Structure 1
């Protein structure tokens, strides 16, 4: 049984020539009613050309070419705007390297029936990672714990990139005001969704480390993300304190 809502998955790419055809084939076979939008950041390895060839053979595959590598968040924002303009009801995110398994997308689609944002989570009961070194797992778990404590949210995998948004969710959280462009973008959108009073659900997934190509995540990227989250957390706590003081001063 397929959902009646028009759904599209946005796949940002940079040097994923060895993965893009495989992941799109798996996605189209598993969820044939779901469209695909590849947002390529000028990959020098020919990823964009491969995506164009796939699009020419399949009317449900689309490609946007950006002229430079501008960051994960910037690629998603470009893709989201394209999807909203074309009337999609459900807009999703997933990695192009095979880490997010298209065969598990159905879990997210079912959960979205009772949510505004659904996240495929590594760190809820039933979730897991495959072929990760322990250092990376510690970094991810620790980073997400830090996010929960600092921002005061209950989401256990706020940095995850396998997710589905309702159209109304993206419209309500004011994408034009989003300034984060890197990996911190994921946390930013979760926080915005919760602040808007919307429902976020997590479903367990098995995250598989890429087999081909190089990960875009580095220690430098992780540190920069934590710096940005720290700034948000301090600002959020300060605003809450001011709000409480104003209320306490009211007659």
Structure 2
């Protein structure tokens, strides 16, 4: 049986963290949870410590300050890989990624190296988003797909499962991306290495508590990086199979 580590980065998520941990444990009782907290001023780290003290399989990795989503995930990946977990999961702490879909993503990992919980594959959708934000996400993913020739509908999606062996290869050589484009970066690396990518439809629900970390600057950095990657990409490099799961 595969061992599973669910990694959830936090920065000022005190109102959301207990609920998301409870939902993860209900969806996959055998999974371990790693909270990666970037020294949240609102005391999220203290709440994470309390959960770890009360619940078996919940762990906390404290970091000195806010360094970006990508840096938090990289620290969590290293923590999990060093401890021999077979499957490593990315999930937001704000409840936008439904833990109830984790079993479906984990099943897909039986035949895929990277599984993405997808908003834009058939059957996927978003809830409670302003129309402008939905349009922006759709257009961004379309641009990424066309510019980088990625056979992926939701390359920016952050609800994911990686096989450990594939992740080790993807991370080899270092990853510079830290913000919104982090997910695109790892997807591109997976495809270029020839790993199989699967997309499982999810319903992405906008957060109801706390504040979104998305900004115009973060999006601009992502689009700039994608443009640079596309300019330097050679034709025919790194084909990969894309699988759709229900």
Specify the TM-score bucket, using the shorter chain as the normaliser: over 0.9
Q: Does residue 45 of structure 2 align to residue 24 of structure 1?
A: no
What residue number does 1:133 align with? 130
Question: What secondary structure is seen at the aligned counterpart in 2 of 1:177?
Answer: coil
Q: Distance in 2 between matches of 1:9 and 1:112?
A: 14
Shift of residue 35, structure 1, vs aligned partner: 0.6
Q: Does residue 31 of structure 2 align to residue 40 of structure 1?
A: no
Question: What secondary structure is seen at the aligned counterpart in 1 of 2:8?
Answer: strand
Runs ≥4 in structure 1, deviation > 3 angstroms? none
Give the aligned CA root-mean-square deviation in angstroms: 1.0
Q: Does residue 120 of structure 2 align to residue 123 of structure 1?
A: yes
Q: Does residue 81 of structure 2 align to residue 84 of structure 1?
A: yes
Q: Distance in 1 between matches of 2:105 and 2:171?
A: 23
Q: How does 1:105-184 map to 2 (within 5 A)?
A: 105-184=102-181
Structure 2 length normalisation: TM-score? Answer: 0.94
> Any gaps of 5 or more consecutive residues in structure 1?
242-251
Q: 2:11 aligns with which of 6, 11, 14?
A: 14
What residue number does 1:188 align with? 185
Structure with the bigger percentage of helix: 1
Structure 1 length normalisation: TM-score? Answer: 0.92
What residue number does 1:227 align with? 224
Q: Distance in 2 between matches of 1:56 and 1:227?
A: 43
Farther off after superposition, 86-95 or 176-185: 176-185
Q: How many residues in Structure 1 have an aligned counterpart in Structure 2?
A: 236
Q: Distance in 1 between matches of 2:172 and 2:181?
A: 15
Name the CA shift for 1:55/1:176 in 2 (closer, same or farther; >3 Å).
farther
| Residues 11-66 of structure 1: per-residue CA shift (max 9 Å, x gap) | 00000000000100111122100110000011000000000000011120000011
Question: What secondary structure is seen at the aligned counterpart in 2 of 1:164?
Answer: strand
Q: Distance in 2 between matches of 1:132 and 1:179?
A: 30
Name the CA shift for 1:209/1:144 in 2 (closer, same or farther; >3 Å).
same
| Residues 185-223 of structure 1: per-residue CA shift (max 9 Å, x gap) | 100000000100110000100000000001111222111
What residue number does 1:248 align with? none
> Any gaps of 5 or more consecutive residues in structure 2?
237-246
